Structure 1
Amino acid sequence: MSDFKLRQKLAGIQDIDHISHILLVRGKKFKGRKVTSFSAPGLVARSRVLTDLYRAPVAFWQCVIRKPDVIIAFYLNYHGLMGWILGKLFNIPVVLVLLGTDLERAINSRRMISILRSAARIAVSGATSKERLIAAGVEESKILHPTSAFSVSDLPIARYAGIEYDLIFVGSLVQVKRVDRLLKAVENLKHRNSLLRLAIVGDGPLRQSLGNLVNELGLDDNVTFVGRVPGNEVPHYLCKSKVFVLTSNSEGLPMAMIEALSCGIPVVVPDAGDINCVVHHKQNGLLVNVSNERELAEALGQVLDNHKLLESLRRGAVATRNLFKSNYSQQAIRRVWETALEGIISLK
């Protein structure tokens, strides 16, 4: 998780008056209010495996000497398991924060569901995830959302002046994001508009192979790999684009999509995870079957070619921004966390 995203996750917790210390066990250093960070040193930090091995005993030792009131684990895989084990060993309540594809991975695993049921609280990104957890036997009273603070007022609203890209993707270049689908859809659209432009903001292990695919599909003049940019610079690229696109296999509630909508950018996204909690078909975006490249291309073409539809979706996106102002404000997120933590620990 980037520093930018971690700050969004911690903001509501940091604002709770009765929380004095946050002991953060993480791969790399982090500075923040109330935060004491424990990170992997030197050569250890260069290896993901060694970093994970290092963090486990550090977290164990902090439980021994500090006995925290609660353990909060972001992501179920590794962190959640480590938090669950430490919670059992030291009788400390555990809050599991499910992000990204966590729920998809856990929902069909009896062991993972058992771990979720045993948690003091489970944080999810939206109502759809909440309903799925309840169906899996998790007590409704244990589930909280949302848990990421987001300062919508700081984001600009896009204007048509200065548009450089027709489409924009923001995210990690990893398999689950299926950026290859987007590239193939762009190839399909290129037959209708040879000047079509796509910006890919982000980096990851598939950067080279996706670059090769761009070359194979003859899209060198149509696709720009922007690379990884600081979180506060992402809106700059969003506001130079007409439509935000995701083609993932699975999602939670992508913050990049929320940023896009907050900037007044319509979205074309899969009906996955909690996306349909905020994206309403033909109101502020399109929910499409992204596994079908022709259907995806048709949906993208429909938005780009129909100025009336694009304007309507844009107005819907701006209206959604007002919803985010109340639901994702730092004050709202603080109340969610404060209520949850008061239910499991004594805040003095």
Structure 2
Amino acid sequence: MALNVLMLSTLFPDISRPNFGVFVERQARELASRPEADVTVIAPLGVPPWPLSRAGRYAPLLALPRKERWQNLTVYRPLFRIVPKFGGATNVGAMTRAILPLVRRLHAERPFDVIDASFFFPDGPVAQRLSKALGIPYSIKARGADIHHWGTRKGTRKMVRKAADGAAALLAVSGAMRRSMAAMGIDEDKIRVHYTGVDLDSFEIMDRAEAKAVLGFSGPVVLSVGALIPRKGQDLLVRALPQLPDVTLLLAGQGQHRRTLERLALELGVERRIGFLGSVPHHKLPRIYAAADVMALPSESEGLANAWVESLACGTPIVISDVGGARELMDRPEAGRIVERDPDAIAAAIRDLIDHPPDREAVRETARRFTWAANGDALLEHLQDIVARGI
């Protein structure tokens, strides 16, 4: 009989946010495509009390169906109450109370074998509570900020540690993340490195000149893909731009840091050479990667960024900071450069890659080991092992 998996994820796409957690969705689809596994996704939606729930980004969430078929997956979207900006530590209890009746009903209809939590917070502590209620084991995957941020905050770090201690086994998106978890006191023997995947059929090498022409660009293009938040370091790219007078910088992503970046660009006189692309649909990213001479993301912290791997798969070298799994990924000079989080160092690395472009096939070769098939094989084996051990 197929393994019956309950996948819990607070980061999962919906019609109003098609890019939100698209890599979690792809991992879920890969697992569900296998005859050895049945997957049910619970993707809780946090909304504040009325009247805030009727405004801004929350209103579209209320309009979503509580159950739907999404990319051949059965997805439940129960609502739970949040207190914006202040209630991170309270989300675990609120989410558990909101989804436990649904989980009990589904478990009674066909018992789940294991819970797969996609993030450490709040998903991990919620999975721990569901595990206790249902009497089944759980696993949690660490991806980046869920450990670096929530795992260190005063109000949440104990919950993160407790969830790790209670898990049957754990996943980390990189070896560096595994070491970070161990440094927090989490049992390293429980942690398996589980790399992300990339669709090598969609993210492929295209004609760069043609891609630039389609998008209306000429000359060197530097792309940065990531949420516009301080941690991602787009401000360092803006500060590097005066040293790259022939370069256009494209920022794909959205976030509260956009106005700060716009003001900085004006101060430096480079505003005409920056394009804010907003949230780009995931299926349109390959052509933008193809148009770029370099993809740069000087983050303060990462696990192993999907944008790194996607860019390499398109034959576009990357300039990134020495964080997370950077050195696990960058196993050849053609892949790009690992640099200090300094505008001068970033500008120099970008200039070198533009003036001396590496062979694009050699760049792509870096990404070939990061397939979704390998990701799915490893996840299935991980969950099967948990159930077989009866933990």
- For this structure pair, what is the TM-score category when the shorter chain's length is used for normalisation? 0.7 to 0.9
Quote the Cα distance in structure 2 between the aligned partners of 1:319 and 1:207. 34
Matched with 2:99 is: 59
Quote the Cα distance in structure 2 between the aligned partners of 1:231 and 1:103. 25
List structure 1 segments (4+ residues) > 4 angstroms apart after TM superposition. Answer: 44-54, 106-110, 134-141
Quote the Cα distance in structure 2 between the aligned partners of 1:38 and 1:147. 27
Matched with 2:137 is: 93
Matched with 1:311 is: 358
Quote the Cα distance in structure 1 between the aligned partners of 2:298 and 2:250. 14
Quote the Cα distance in structure 2 between the aligned partners of 1:127 and 1:66. 35
Cα distance, 1:256 vs. partner?
1.1
Note if contact 1:199-1:226 (Cα within 8 Å) is conserved in structure 2. yes
Quote the Cα distance in structure 1 between the aligned partners of 2:95 and 2:166. 23
Partner AA of 2:382 in structure 1: A
Quote the Cα distance in structure 2 between the aligned partners of 1:269 and 1:227. 21
Matched with 1:17 is: 35
Quote the Cα distance in structure 2 between the aligned partners of 1:323 and 1:25. 29
SS in 1 for 2:77: strand
Quote the Cα distance in structure 1 between the aligned partners of 2:367 and 2:21. 24
Matched with 1:230 is: 281
Quote the Cα distance in structure 1 between the aligned partners of 2:264 and 2:352. 25
Deviates more, 1:115-124 or 1:126-135: 126-135
Matched, 1:323 2:374: no
Note if contact 1:15-1:334 (Cα within 8 Å) is conserved in structure 2. no
Residues 253, 303 of structure 1: alpha-carbon distance in 2 compared, 3 angstrom cutoff: same
Cα distance, 1:179 vs. partner?
1.1
Note if contact 2:202-2:286 (Cα within 8 Å) is conserved in structure 1. no
- TM normalised by structure 2 equals 0.75
SS in 2 for 1:22: strand
Q: Which structure 2 residues correspond to residues 293-304 of structure 1 after superposition, within 5 A?
A: 293-304=343-354
Residues 21, 160 of structure 1: alpha-carbon distance in 2 compared, 3 angstrom cutoff: closer
Q: Deviations over 1:175-229 (max 9, x none)?
A: 2112111111112x14xx2x32111111111122211221121112211111111
SS in 2 for 1:152: coil
Quote the Cα distance in structure 2 between the aligned partners of 1:199 and 1:101. 24
2:74 to 35, 40, 65: 35
2:379 to 317, 329, 337: 337
How many matched pairs?
A: 332
Quote the Cα distance in structure 2 between the aligned partners of 1:98 and 1:201. 24
SS in 1 for 2:275: strand
Matched with 2:146 is: 102
Deviates more, 1:259-268 or 1:116-125: 116-125
Note if contact 2:296-2:320 (Cα within 8 Å) is conserved in structure 1. yes
Note if contact 1:184-1:293 (Cα within 8 Å) is conserved in structure 2. yes
SS in 2 for 1:259: helix
Structure 1 unaligned segments of length 5 or more: list them.
Answer: none
- TM normalised by structure 1 equals 0.84
Quote the Cα distance in structure 2 between the aligned partners of 1:12 and 1:121. 20
Matched with 2:5 is: none
Cα distance, 1:166 vs. partner?
2.0
Matched with 1:253 is: 304
Quote the Cα distance in structure 2 between the aligned partners of 1:184 and 1:104. 26
Matched with 1:153 is: 201
SS in 2 for 1:86: helix
SS in 2 for 1:176: helix
Quote the Cα distance in structure 2 between the aligned partners of 1:54 and 1:129. 28
Residues 220, 135 of structure 1: alpha-carbon distance in 2 compared, 3 angstrom cutoff: closer
Partner AA of 2:278 in structure 1: G
